[in-house]
Amino acid sequence: MQLRRLVPALTLAILAFAEATAQNAAPRVETAAQKDARMAWWRDARFGMFIHWGLYAVPAGTWHGERVDGLGEWIMNQAKIPASEYAQLAKQFNPVQFDADAWAKTAKDAGMKYIIITSKHHDGFANFDSKVSSYDIVDATPYHRDAIKALASAAHRAGLRFGVYYSIMDWHHPDAQSGAYPDYNSRSFHSPNFARYVETYMKPQLRELVTQYPEIDVLWFDGEWIADWSDAQGQQLYDWLHTMKPSLIINNRVGHSRQGMAGMSANKDAPGDFGTPEQRVPPEGLPGVDWETCMTLNDTWGFQTFDDNWKDTKTLVRTLVDVASKGGNLLLNVGPTAQGVIPAQSVSRLREMGDWMRVNGESVYGTTASPFGLPTWGRYTARQSTGKVYAHVFDWPKNKQLALTGVTARPRSVYLLGDKKPLSVERGEGGWMVSLPAVRPSAIDAVLVVETGGTSATR
């Protein structure tokens, strides 16, 4: 009996000591050039797919016949479901229609360059085969297969980068926030054994993800606002992860100083490689920092049967362009069903975005923020290496005269993307005026290429 208690306690002490030693031994030192190299693929990508998938897809927003308000993946908190009762959902999670290659193809066809999927959301259920837990898709469900492994390989087969979401907050684990029931999300709750959860559960799970899934290039943390977490702990976790895999890109929710849904860290020394605005685009852009807006296609992240508030394709494309024009990435969410199917309303919108991206992708991928501010008719993106600026015309002027606001030097040439025919440019009242062609190539966003005099104009 004594020994049974002593052994885990000793193991914990040894583990904690080993981690502390590793952290102290290897604080990350990275030059600006090394950071640029590490971030290069992510900065070029501009567009990714977020996937929220877990046990919450089973109730899909309804609990004991009642519609539960709020986000689908928050149902355990919203309906105040005890952890043991919620865990029973695993027996009903059998996504036999899950086809990882089909999901990767949906992302690829949309023009997305990477996929981030929930490996564990706030509810604590893991979508991968964890050895430190039986509360995962392999051990606890009739499906018995590792969804993270399947999607990681499918993403790579499709030429996409891959990463995982991981919630620091955990409503299932007895040493984490399970004890906060019925208010799992209590801001003041402290677990006396939180360090044990971190050392014997969270970090081992993260080690499994980073070492056993070589495709993982991004760790996307969340649930970091809990009272038991701090920037200092986040910095240690960030360094520890980078010691295992130096190429990892880690979001700022690894720390504790995010400013709400605006998403940027309050403290400039806070850990993390990029800021995470949620459900919003920074109004003025954020020059010189890496950030990624995550956004839903309807109102929920995890599947809900009754959420029909879908954004239309025009809004979605313009949001992507707005984000790129401000120097950020867009991580657009899908919430597959418990059968493993991405809702048709999501697939059709993503396909339509892909139709636009196949023609106009050059004006998004690898671009940087607008050098000419925010024009009233749309947005600008820029490609520094070529001195090209892309004018994204959302509102096609009735008189077919477009003022290139912000552009001072005479452009060398202006033409429609995909059509080298030069358009006439004259000096007018509103600055350089472009005579647009009779036919508007896209009612979503018609893109003009503006060849500026030199690279100086693009920065």
The secondary structure of 224-249 as a DSSP string is TTSTT--HHHHHHHHHHHHHH-TT-E
Residue listed under structure tokens 């993390």: 272
Q: Which is nearer to ligand H79, 200 or 298 (CB)?
A: 298
Q: Which is nearer to ligand H79, 346 or 363 (CB)?
A: 346
For residue 321, what are its two tokens? Answer: 């362009």
Q: Which is nearer to ligand H79, 254 or 444 (CB)?
A: 254
Q: How far is the CB of 302 from ligand H79 (least distance, A)?
A: 7
- Please give the angle made by the CA atoms of 58, 55 and 51, to the nearest 5 degrees: 100
Contact (CB, 8 A) for 127 and 59 = no
Q: Taking the chain, what is the end-to-end CA distance rounded to the nearest angstrom? A: 68
**Choice from 129, 170, 208, 222 touching ligand H79 (CB under 6 A):** 222
Site string for ligand H79, 377-396 (x = CB under 6 A): --------------------
Q: Which is nearer to ligand H79, 186 or 193 (CB)?
A: 186
Q: Which is nearer to ligand H79, 302 or 375 (CB)?
A: 302
Q: Which is nearer to ligand H79, 208 or 222 (CB)?
A: 222
For residue 124, what are its two tokens? Answer: 């604590």
CB-side neighbour CA atoms (13 Å) of 294: 25
CB-side neighbour CA atoms (13 Å) of 234: 32
**Choice from 73, 129, 175, 273 touching ligand H79 (CB under 6 A):** 73
Q: Is residue 301 a contact point for ligand H79 (CB under 6 A)?
A: yes
Q: How far is the CB of 369 from ligand H79 (least distance, A)?
A: 24
C-alpha 380/C-alpha 406 separation (Å) is: 10
Task: Catalogue the E-assigned strands of 69-126.
Answer: 114-120
Q: Which is nearer to ligand H79, 126 or 389 (CB)?
A: 126
DSSP category for residue 362: G
CA torsion sign, 347 to 351 to 352 to 356? positive
The count of chain residues that interact with ligand H79, using the rule CB under 6 A, is: 10
Site string for ligand H79, 8-47 (x = CB under 6 A): ----------------------------------------
Contact (CB, 8 A) for 327 and 287 = yes
Q: Is residue 425 a contact point for ligand H79 (CB under 6 A)?
A: no
C-alpha 193/C-alpha 209 separation (Å) is: 23
Which of the stretches 67-75, 79-87, 88-96, 429-437 binds ligand H79 when contact is defined by CB under 6 A? 67-75
Q: Which is nearer to ligand H79, 80 or 157 (CB)?
A: 80
Q: How far is the CB of 73 from ligand H79 (least distance, A)?
A: 5
Q: Which is nearer to ligand H79, 56 or 213 (CB)?
A: 56
How are beta strands 401-403 and 431-435 bridged, if at all? antiparallel
Q: Which is nearer to ligand H79, 209 or 294 (CB)?
A: 294
Report the Cα 15 to chain-centroid distance in Å: 31
Q: Which is nearer to ligand H79, 168 or 417 (CB)?
A: 168
Q: How far is the CB of 49 from ligand H79 (least distance, A)?
A: 13
Which of the stretches 65-73, 241-249, 282-290, 306-314 binds ligand H79 when contact is defined by CB under 6 A? 65-73
Q: How far is the CB of 422 from ligand H79 (least distance, A)?
A: 45
Contact (CB, 8 A) for 258 and 236 = no
- Residues numbered 271 to 300 that lie near ligand H79 (CB under 6 A) are 278, 294
Q: Is residue 185 a contact point for ligand H79 (CB under 6 A)?
A: yes
Q: Is residue 405 a contact point for ligand H79 (CB under 6 A)?
A: no
Which of the stretches 30-38, 70-78, 104-112, 136-144 binds ligand H79 when contact is defined by CB under 6 A? 70-78
Q: Which is nearer to ligand H79, 294 or 423 (CB)?
A: 294
Q: Is residue 71 a contact point for ligand H79 (CB under 6 A)?
A: yes
Contact (CB, 8 A) for 136 and 129 = yes
Residue listed under structure tokens 């685009």: 281
Q: Is residue 70 a contact point for ligand H79 (CB under 6 A)?
A: yes
Of 297, 364, 383, nearest in space to 335 by CA? 297
Q: How far is the CB of 211 from ligand H79 (least distance, A)?
A: 24
Which of the stretches 66-74, 307-315, 355-363, 373-381 binds ligand H79 when contact is defined by CB under 6 A? 66-74
CA 63 to each of CA 67, 77, 131, 352: distance values in angstroms, whole numbers, following the listed order: 6, 12, 31, 34
For residue 399, what are its two tokens? Answer: 């008189």
- Non-local (6+) Cβ contacts of 19 within 8 A are 199, 203, 236, 240
Which of the stretches 4-12, 69-77, 88-96, 338-346 binds ligand H79 when contact is defined by CB under 6 A? 69-77
C-alpha 162/C-alpha 354 separation (Å) is: 19
How are beta strands 329-334 and 378-383 bridged, if at all? unpaired
DSSP bridge partners of 220: 165
Q: Provide the binding-site residues for ligand H79, judged by CB under 6 A.
A: 52, 70-71, 73-74, 185, 222, 278, 294, 301
